[in-house]
Amino acid sequence: MRFFTCTSHGILSSARYGSLSLESINCDKTVKESKKNIFIIINTLDEVFYQDVIREFGNNKHDKLKKIIRTESNGSPGKGHNSVIDIFYKNYKYDYLIKLDGDDFLFPCALERIHNVQTSQNSDIITLLGNCSITNTCVKYNKTRNLNPETNTRFLTYNVSLDFNIQEISNISMVDEEFNKLTAGTPLRLLCLNRKILEKYKKLYNEEMYKCVDIEYCVIFYKELYNSDYKITHLSDAYIYLYNGVNETSVTKHHDDCIIPYTNDNNIRNGLLQKYNLMEYRISDIQPVPYNTIINDDVNMNMINNFYDKVLFILIRINNEYMQP
């Protein structure tokens, strides 16, 4: 089964960042030249947010955007992720799903690199370790008080300088044993999959948590680690997925605590181990595969740097809009 025969891209939408997320897929030449379609899945209880997304992406503004779908939400990001997978699973027109959070970005070379890995490894699932991330810090803050003598008006001027930092992590050859603790976070990002594992596991994300909802599929993939029915490639590469750490409205930054039923370390561990009939969880047993050990090609750094410039300009603009009263 060929990867580019027919592929869907599921974007969990974030209206403020979604336009660039969508463009990062839509501008890829492999999208323009293939039977790829893009779906935006809106999983929200906020009607205003939903209308914002419709205004931003509706009316056939993007050639490859197939449909905008609103799904039922319980307030958990896990339900939103599972809704993307469910829509893909029920639509047999598509062979593979590539997932992208609506506030993150794909590199211009991402789809080609995913294609190279999938075809060379015959992967049913591709996870990603060591993605690139962008964050910002306030490095200068200055406030001045001024007086207009003609009008006797006082006003304050704020000068704020931000540093944007891009961290590229690649060539990861092992997973730290710290991740064997179910509460230590998750080392894997679900990047691409076909339907095979969905025949057994309909839901890959936990729907009862607000944070670390991807721990569910990490446990599943560990359980199936030595099952020859599934070819799971755990890929390490810096130039596929750009995680947006600038987004102050992300679930990760606004929900510091998980809700029922996993409210503490023991409940999380015991609940998931019992659910999947496991005696232990050793995600460090997986073997990451650096991209350059699979495919011998060079990254066009001019393209990468231009992409970074474009992302930064958009993030600065959005940050300025967000700070407006």
* Tens digit of each residue's pLDDT (9 = 90 or more) over 50-109: 887 777 777 666 666 767 888 777 667 888 889 889 988 998 888 899 988 877 888 989
Please list the ranges in the chain whose pLDDT falls under 50.
1-6, 13-15, 17-19, 31, 250-262, 264-265, 323-325
The pLDDT of residue 202 is 93
Rounded alpha-carbon distances, angstroms, from residue 281 to 63, 184, 220, 238, 273: 44, 12, 10, 27, 8
The pLDDT of residue 29 is 52
Residues in the chain: 325
**222 with 283: CB under 8 angstroms?**
yes
Element (H, E) at 271: helix 265-275
Element (H, E) at 60: none
Helices and strands in the chain: count of H runs, count of E runs = 10, 12
Element (H, E) at 237: none
Rounded alpha-carbon distances, angstroms, from residue 266 to 219, 252, 313: 15, 21, 44
Q: Identify the CA nearest to 215 among candidates 272, 133, 162, 150.
A: 272
Dist. CA 78–CA 164, nearest whole Å: 29
DSSP conformation class of 141? E
Dist. CA 214–CA 236, nearest whole Å: 18
Q: Could you write out the three-class secondary structure of 144-191?
A: EEEEECCCCEEEEEEEEEEEEEEECCCCCCCCCHHHHCCCCCCCCEEE
Q: Identify the CA nearest to 90 among candidates 198, 247, 225, 206.
A: 198
The pLDDT of residue 180 is 93
Q: What is the pTM of this model?
A: 0.81
Give the chain's domains with CATH numbers: 7-132+168-295 (3.90.550.10)
The pLDDT of residue 312 is 85
Residues 6+ apart with CB under 8 A from 172: 129, 130, 236, 288, 290
The pLDDT of residue 140 is 58
**232 with 190: CB under 8 angstroms?**
no
DSSP for 83-125 reads HHHHHHHH-TT-SEEEEEETTSEE-TTHHHHHHHHHHHHT-SE
Three-state secondary structure call for residue 76: coil
